[in-house]
Structure 1
C-alpha cells in the first residue's frame, strides 16, 4: 500500500483496541460463546436489503467511495478494457470512482435490489464524463442464492483456464445495455464475456448470512480469469458499529441483525483468511485498517475498523 494510504489506515493499534474491549465488562456479550439458532434464510436477508434500498432510494445514505483507488491502485494500472465485477453494487458509490479512474475499464455490477440498480444507473447517467455510462453494465442477481449467470463466464470456461479467449465475446467498448437484467437473460449455453479481471467485494460479504459466504466466495473465484484479483473491504472485528449492537441483536458469532432486518458480520483476519483460502484464493494482502474520525455534530471520537484484503486466483 502507498505511504499515504498506510498513514490514514493506522491511526491506532488494533491489538490495543482488542485488549481494551475484551477487558470492558459492558462489551462482554460480544465475546461470549453463541449458541446457534435457526438463522434467517438468505432469501429473507435479501428481502431486507431490498426494503432498505427502497427506503433510501435517493441514494443520500451512501457516499462516493473516492478512497477506493488509493486502496486498490491495481484498478488504475490494469490493462486496456479490463473487466470488473462489482458484487452488491448498491447505488453505485463504488462503481463511479472505478469508471472515472480508468477511462477504458468496463464494469459489470449486480445487486439483489432493482431499486439500487436503478439508482446506480441514474448516478452513472448523470456523471459528467460521456464515456462512463457506456462502460457500465448493471444486472439483477441474488448472488447469495443463485450465483452468477453463465453470461459472465460459461460452463466450459469455468472448468478451464481460458486457453481459447476467441471462443468468447470480445471486450465491450461502448455498447448500450439491454437493461438491468441484461446478463441474466442469456441462456447458459450461449457465449460468455470470458470472465473478469477483478471482483470487488466492498462492504457486501458482511451483509449476507455467514453460512452463505463460502458459496459467494467460490462463485467469485469461478468468474475470475486466472491471475485475476478479488479486492475485499468490509467491517472489522471491534469496529465502533459492532459495539453499538445490543445482546438481543446478536444472531451468530460476530453476526448481528438490525431492526430493519439487514445483517452485519464483523471479520477478523483469521476468519477472512480461512474463507478465501478455503475457496482456492491466494492471499496477497490482508490487514486491519484502523481509522479515527470525529462526528462533526457532537464532537464524539469514533474508532473505525475495517478489513482490507487482496486475493488472487491461481494462474
Structure 2
C-alpha cells in the first residue's frame, strides 16, 4: 500500500510456509530454552490472567491499540462484499476497547455485534465510547475458556465470529474448549475470521531466557502471554473442532521507513474457518 503523506510503507505478502531461520535466530531460540518460566509462575500467570489484562487496560486505557480499519480489507465477509449485511450478527471475542467494532459499524451500520472480553475495564471503555449503542452492541465480560459464553448467548445465533489477536493470549491447553464454544455459537455455515501471531515472528525471537512458558508460548513483562502459531497447528486445531478450512496462510508484513532506514518484518497467521452447513 502506498501513502504519499507518510514515510511508512506496509507490505503484506502471503506465504504457505514460515520463514527460514538464520543461524543467529536458531541460537536465540535455543537460548530461550536455557531458563523456562517455573511451574509455579506459569500457574500463577494462568490464575491472574484476568487481573493482568485488567491492569493492562488500567495503564493504557484506550491508547495502546489503533483502530483496526484493515479488517474489512482482509475479511470481506464483514461487509458482505459491498452487499447489504442487514440482519447479520457478529461476535467479537476479545473486543478490547472496541478498536474493531466501532470502525466496522461506521462502515456497516446494519449489523448487530456481541462483544466480549475477559477484562471488565475493557468492557467499561466500550460502553463509555461515544458511539456505543445498546441497540447495536451487546458488550459483556466473559471468559471464553469456560462454558460461560454458551450460557449468556443462544446457541447457533451468530453469523460471523472474529478471533483477532486473541487466541494467542490464552493457554494452549484451553484452545480446544474455546473453539468448541465458538462452534456452538455459530449458525450452520457461519465463519470464524482469524488473525494472530505467526511462528518465528520478530516478537517471538526477541524473548530472552526466563520468558518461555512452553513450546511457542511466552510471558510478557506485564504478565500477559503470547502464543505463536504455525499454520499446521491451526489446521489441526480447527479441523479437530469440526470446522472446514477456507484459507489458512502466513502473512509476512514488512513495515518500511525509508527515511529512517528501517525495515521491520512481522509474521502473522490468517485464516477463515467455516462451520459446516
Task: Work out whether the TM-score is over 0.5.
Answer: yes
What is the alpha-carbon distance in structure 1 between the residues aligned to residue 23 and residue 32 of structure 2?
A: 9
Partner of 1:141: 142
Note the residue ranges of structure 1 that are not aligned, 5 or more in a row. Answer: 1-6, 159-193
CA contact (8 A) 1:207 1:265 kept: yes
Residues 8, 73 of structure 1: CA spacing in aligned structure 2 closer, same or farther, 3 A cutoff? farther
Task: Confirm or deny: 8 A CA contact 2:180 2:241 kept in the other structure.
Answer: yes
CA distance in 2, matches of 1:296, 1:16: 25
Q: Distance in 2 between matches of 1:100 and 1:110?
A: 19
Distance 1:28 1:14, change over 3 A: farther
The answer to whether the Cα contact below 8 Å between 2:18 and 2:250 also exists between their aligned partners in 1 is no
- The TM-score with structure 2 as length reference comes to 0.85
For the structure 1 residues 29 and 274, does the alpha-carbon distance in structure 2 shift closer, same or farther, using more than 3 Å as the test?
farther
In the alignment, which of 69, 73, 76 is matched to residue 73 of structure 1? Answer: 76
CA distance in 2, matches of 1:152, 1:286: 28
Tell me what 2:51 maps to.
Answer: 47
Equivalent residue pairs, number? 263
Superposed displacement of residue 300, structure 1: 3.2
- Give deviations 1:210-246, integer Å, cap 9, x for gaps: 1111111110111000000001000001111111111
Query: Following the alignment from structure 1 to structure 2, what is the Cα–Cα distance between the partners of residues 121 and 296?
Result: 40
* SS of equivalent residue, structure 2 residue 43: coil
Counterpart-to-counterpart distance in 2, 1:23 and 1:296: 25
Note if contact 2:90-2:114 (Cα within 8 Å) is conserved in structure 1: yes
Matches within 5 A, 1:120-199: 120-123=126-129, 125-126=130-131, 134-153=135-154, 158=155, 195-199=157-161
Quote the residue 1:172 is aligned against: none
Contact 2:199 2:267 in 1 (8 A): yes
Alpha-carbon spacing, 1:235–1:114, altered in 2? closer, same or farther (3 Å): same
- CA drift at 1:151: 3.7
User: What SS does structure 2 have at the residue aligned with 1:52?
Assistant: helix
Gaps of 5+ in 2: 1-9
Alignment of structure 1 residues 9-88 onto 2, 5 Å: 9-10=12-13, 15=17, 17-20=19-22, 24-29=26-31, 37=39, 39-40=42-43, 42-57=46-61, 59-77=62-80, 79-88=85-94
Q: CA RMSD in A?
A: 2.8
Taking structure 1 as reference, are residues 284 and 196 closer, same or farther at Cα in structure 2, changes over 3 Å only? same
Name whichever structure is richer in strand by fraction. 2
**Structure 1 residue 121 displacement after superposition:** 2.4
Q: Residue 147 of structure 1 contacts residue 219 of structure 1 at CA under 8 Å; is this kept in 2?
A: no
Q: Is the 8 A contact 2:150 2:181 kept in 1?
A: no
Match among 177, 180, 183 for residue 221 of structure 1:
183
Cα distance in structure 2, aligned partners of 1:274 and 1:22? 30
Contact 1:206–1:265 (8 Å) recurs in 2: yes
Distance in 1 (CA, whole Å) between partners of 2:165 and 2:68 is 11
